[in-house]
């Protein structure tokens, strides 16, 4: 077997290619159009650099001042999906609308992609983005003690890696700098991907799989974690979610998991809209 019960690459590809049956051009066009509208709707600082490379940029959507009863707003950091090898922050501005209206500043993070960089560099950039928001909170007008994170697909994986980061040892910051994490359709066990259609792009080594699979890493941040997957996704997304939930529970983490019916790997993002459950969960991280 290549991984778990999978004996062939074709089996792994079917389980881990959510674009099967979808038109990616139509999907991405819709996201871009909706995101452009969101960027005109809110007060936003575009392409704020959080590192030295051109890919290390984030769009900061500032909280609706009418809903902020304190000088500094809570801040939420979002990491997009794309299987670590496609898309950018600009396709995902549309997820911010109801969070901004609720008085939460949202940072939508861009990061470098494989194979232009090694997998480890993507993880490093995600860490750098959160460290930047935390250490530059005053100039961003946010409360560093009210920082939460979420991510979709590959972004869900990055959020799990952020929960496993030794913030004190690596950045000299508190290991409790994250108030809560929402991981949407995340990948927590990288073992199937070296055998998959993604490997020519990801170029994962055995060491990468070991060092960057959250399922095998200690969780160092004691914040609440919400894990979700879609009922119309491949069964593997639910399996990954359940395995990671069990891993966190065994370490005494506060973790909940939910399989949301009638949504697939992409329509699950609609739960960021219309004050739906994702917004409510993120608000709960901040006591809102």
**Average pLDDT over every residue of 280-285:** 96
The 8-class DSSP code of residue 270 comes to G
Domains of the chain: 9-285 (3.40.50.1820)
Percentage of the chain modeled with pLDDT above 90: 94
Residues, the chain: 288
Q: Kindly state the tokens that stand for 56.
A: 């290390």
Closest by Cα among 270, 267, 257 to 232: 267
Can you tell me whether residue 253 is helix, strand or coil?
coil
Q: In what order do the strands lie in the sheet with 57-61?
A: 44-49, 57-61, 105-109, 73-79, 142-152, 180-184, 224-230, 255-260
Looking at residue 69, its pLDDT comes to: 61
Specify whether the CB–CB gap between 243 and 257 falls below 8 A.
Answer: no
Looking at residue 40, its pLDDT comes to: 97
Q: Kindly state the tokens that stand for 229.
A: 């997957």
Per-residue confidence band for 127, with pLDDT thresholds at 50, 70 and 90: very high
**Average pLDDT over every residue of 125-148:** 97
Q: What are phi and psi of 208, to 5 degrees?
A: -60, -45
**Average pLDDT over every residue of 117-135:** 98
pTM for this entry:
0.97
Q: What is the mean pLDDT of the chain?
A: 96
Q: What is the pLDDT of residues 50-104, one digit of tens each?
A: 999 999 999 999 998 765 566 799 999 999 999 999 999 999 999 999 999 999 9
Looking at residue 213, its pLDDT comes to: 98
Q: What is the pLDDT of residues 137-177, one digit of tens each?
A: 999 999 999 999 999 999 999 999 999 999 999 999 999 99
Can you tell me whether residue 41 is helix, strand or coil?
helix
Looking at residue 64, its pLDDT comes to: 86
Looking at residue 20, its pLDDT comes to: 87
Q: What is the pLDDT of residues 191-230, one digit of tens each?
A: 999 999 999 999 999 999 999 999 999 999 999 999 999 9
């Amino acid at each position: 077997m290549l991984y778990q019960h999978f004996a062939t690459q074709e089996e792994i590809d079917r389980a881990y290619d959510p674009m099967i049956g979808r038109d990616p051009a139509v999907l991405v066009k819709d996201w871009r159009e909706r995101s452009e509208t969101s960027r005109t709707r809110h007060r936003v600082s575009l392409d704020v650099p959080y590192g030295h490379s051109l890919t290390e940029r984030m769009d900061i959507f500032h909280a609706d001042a009418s809903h902020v009863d304190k000088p500094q707003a809570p801040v939420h950091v979002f990491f997009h999906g794309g299987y670590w090898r496609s898309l950018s922050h600009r396709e995902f501005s549309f997820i911010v609308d109801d969070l901004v209206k609720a008085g939460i500043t949202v940072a939508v993070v861009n990061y470098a992609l494989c194979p232009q960089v090694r997998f480890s560099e993507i993880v490093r950039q995600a860490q750098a983005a959160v460290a930047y928001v935390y250490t530059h909170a005053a100039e961003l007008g946010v409360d560093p003690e009210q920082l939460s994170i979420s991510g979709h697909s590959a972004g869900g994986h990055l959020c799990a890696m952020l929960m496993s980061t030794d913030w004190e040892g690596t950045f000299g910051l508190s290991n409790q700098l994250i108030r809560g994490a929402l991981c949407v359709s995340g990948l927590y066990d990288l073992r199937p991907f070296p055998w998959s259609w993604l490997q020519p792009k990801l170029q994962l080594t055995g060491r990468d799989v070991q060092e960057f699979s959250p399922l095998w890493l200690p969780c160092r941040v004691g914040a609440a974690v919400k894990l979700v997957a879609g009922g119309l996704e491949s069964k593997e997304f639910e399996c990954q979610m359940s395995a990671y939930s069990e891993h966190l529970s065994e370490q005494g983490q506060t973790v909940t998991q939910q399989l949301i019916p009638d949504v697939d790997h992409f329509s699950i993002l609609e739960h960021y809209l219309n004050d739906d459950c994702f917004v409510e969960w993120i608000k709960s991280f901040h006591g809102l």
